[in-house]
Structure 1
Amino acid sequence: MQQLHDADRRGFASDNYSGVHPAVLAAVAAANGGHQTAYGADDYTARLQEVVRGHFGDAAEAFPVFNGTGANVLALQSLLPRWGAVIAAKSAHINVDEGGAPERVGGMKLLTVPTPDGKLTPALIDLEAWGWGDEHRAQPLAVSITQSTELGTLYTPDEIRAIADHAHERGMLLHVDGARLSNAAVSLGTDLRAFTTDAGVDILSLGGTKNGAMCAEAVVVLSEGAGEGLLYLRKLNMQLASKMRFISAQLVALFEGELWRESAAHANAMAARLRAAVEQVPGVGFAYPTQANGVFARLPEGVADRVRERFFFYDWDAPAGEVRWMCTWDTTEDDVDALAQAVREAVGA
């Protein structure tokens, strides 16, 4: 097939814009020979269970799905009865960027809390953690946090443990949206278990797509009280892949060795390089710390549109001049340096 895009064009809009890591593509090709049983009863999905248990503990169980929205909706559905609600940050992906899927498909109420940095705390959770037994109120039975957050910030293992303990004491379960879980682990200098299983997380959405995979995510059940009905909910929500081996093979390629860590470390390093390159430019500021692979910058009026003539990226808060630059596994130093130079030139113009 003829290539239809300019393979030399680079951007900073999203870590979803990058291609598939060659090692992941090779894994898909390797899984392509012969016949394998459909719907997850294949050798690659079995191997994925072993890999996941190696990261998250012997009780962990993975349910591969197509995308992050599907993973989040499924995970939360399995925690909640029909009258249940989930507490999340107002900036959470499940609230802002999933088109109402948690409510419309998942059938759950979202109870959102404004946060200064995208992070929930026990005190913030308590703003919505009330009303149990009140038939007029959706019952708060789950908490959802994102690691790293939608604002590029991180929870420490101790912060997640405090949230998990607080939730459990109130009869709620804890979900982690881990679309960028690998980036968080690299930045924190930990393994994946330190701030999930060991911190009391009940269920998580394990991200692959943003770290070099394609259409490959998984719901990972970590505690005995979580994941009820996932076997059926996955099919009900159209997230059951018939040729699941190709999803599982990608996740095995990422997480069996160190590819997940290497790719995330590179993306984080490119974000740090970008921030360092533009922080001395007059008029440029930052909305949040750069703790993973995203840079949230505030630019003088008109600068973003001038820079976008060369590099595509999104406004985050247009009235405030705030933009988001995302780095990914294939962002190069030349890409970063060219964007920084474009910012300097636009500010000078």
Structure 2
Amino acid sequence: MSLPQSAAAVRHDPARRDFTSDNCSGAHPEIMSALHLANGGHQQAYGADSYTLHLTDTFRNHFGPEAEVFPVFNGTGANIVALQAVTSRWGAVICAEQAHLDEDEGGGPEQVAGLKLLAVPSEDGKMCPAAIERATAQASDVHSAQPLTLSLAQATELGTCYTPEEIRTLTACAHAHGLTVHMDGARLANAAVALDVPLSACTTDAGVDILSFGGTKNGLLFGDCVVVLAPSRVSGMPYLRKRSAQLASKMRFLSVQFEALLDGDLWQRNAGHANAMAQRLRRNLHGIEAVTVSRPVQANSVFATIPAAARARLADRYTLYLNDEAQGELRLTCSWDTTEEDVDAFSVEAAAAAGAARIAN
């Protein structure tokens, strides 16, 4: 069935591809189809619709029989709502020094939730139990914000993945110190596919208490979910979502996207394809002189150092995300719709730019 005409115009080049973020891609056709299916007639607002009511079963199939799901608009909103639900106002949240919470959410956790973030050292984005031990030991009296929550990112901001065993070790350490465990799962699907494990292996089965589950980066038009995995450790979710401006009135359009993503294998297909394209990009860049893949490639991001002159030439055709200016390190992220041709074209341009920069020098 053809869609009706619109007064809007195409204002971008549909053939353009960039590697700055998996937020740059459009929505998967199956997601757009699901939205169209949900668009007929009237449904009750604020989550009382048929699609949202079905969503609990969808998430319990992946995360266990106690899982409770709360759709929200975006990942920052999911993190802020989740952290408020498990952290008292006098509390602090331990996170990795590169955590999205600390570096990329505009102070939202502090401003909206009123929480102190304790960023601790990590290796390739992954924390170790010793860092948790030090953070809790330093908060010895009333003059310190009290660590009450540990927040992990899976995959991490540096593209690495915790194994289920590593997560279990961290959650055991956190729980031993009375901390609740939150996971920022903006790219959880990518991590689970990379590790070849179900979504529950890195979350429910590993001791995570509350999860921010990403959809936008894995083919959705918009939307993420807060998933409560341990209800006894969480309180006030419906009210916190509302007061944090994350309660959608037409929630069916959030929920039907997650049904399309999770009731079948779309989440695996999208994440698996993005991961595979990242591995292809890693292999291509590995053979270019003066270009170094600088971090392990485990999910859908490749970190590579490229000389400044070569980056300047690449910037004529691509928007670039500079992760570390001092090292000249780019983050290159693949999406569900990245093709082999996209990867190879970028690699050819990178090789030509690096070669031209050498000649110029």
TM-score tier by shorter-chain length is: over 0.9
Higher alpha-carbon deviation: 116-125 or 63-72: 116-125
Q: Specify the alignment match of 2:60 in structure 1.
A: 53
Q: Specify the alignment match of 1:348 in structure 2.
A: 355
Q: For residue 131 of structure 1, report the CA deviation from its aligned partner.
A: 5.0
1:67 matches 2:56: no
Q: Distance in 2 between matches of 1:131 and 1:244?
A: 43
In structure 2, give the amino acid aligned to 1:196: T
Q: Secondary structure, in 3 states, of the residue corresponding to 2:134?
A: coil
Q: For residue 215 of structure 1, report the CA deviation from its aligned partner.
A: 1.9
1:44 matches 2:51: yes
Q: Specify the alignment match of 1:215 in structure 2.
A: 222
Q: Distance in 1 between matches of 2:92 and 2:335?
A: 33
Q: Specify the alignment match of 1:228 in structure 2.
A: 235
Q: Specify the alignment match of 1:170 in structure 2.
A: 177
Q: CA RMSD in A?
A: 0.9
Q: Specify the alignment match of 1:85 in structure 2.
A: 92
Q: For residue 305 of structure 1, report the CA deviation from its aligned partner.
A: 1.7
Q: Specify the alignment match of 1:161 in structure 2.
A: 168
Q: Distance in 2 between matches of 1:132 and 1:322?
A: 35
Per-residue CA deviations over 1:285-317 (Å, capped at 9, x if unaligned) read: 122100000000011231112112112120111
Q: Distance in 2 between matches of 1:241 and 1:75?
A: 16
1:279 matches 2:286: yes
Per-residue CA deviations over 1:19-73 (Å, capped at 9, x if unaligned) read: 0001001111100111111000111011111100000000000000000000001
1:145 matches 2:152: yes
| TM-score w.r.t. length of structure 2 | 0.95
Contact 2:285 2:293 in 1 (8 A): no
Q: Specify the alignment match of 1:7 in structure 2.
A: 14
Q: Distance in 2 between matches of 1:41 and 1:114?
A: 43
Count of aligned pairs between the two proteins: 349
Contact 1:271 1:295 in 2 (8 A): yes
In structure 1, give the amino acid aligned to 2:272: A
In structure 1, the gaps of 5 or more residues are none
Q: Distance in 1 between matches of 2:20 and 2:138?
A: 40
Q: Secondary structure, in 3 states, of the residue corresponding to 1:250?
A: helix
Q: Specify the alignment match of 1:322 in structure 2.
A: 329
| TM-score w.r.t. length of structure 1 | 0.98
Q: For residue 87 of structure 1, report the CA deviation from its aligned partner.
A: 0.2
In structure 2, give the amino acid aligned to 1:269: A
Percent identity of the aligned residues?
54
Q: Secondary structure, in 3 states, of the residue corresponding to 1:218?
A: strand
1:269 matches 2:276: yes
Q: Distance in 1 between matches of 2:335 and 2:186?
A: 13
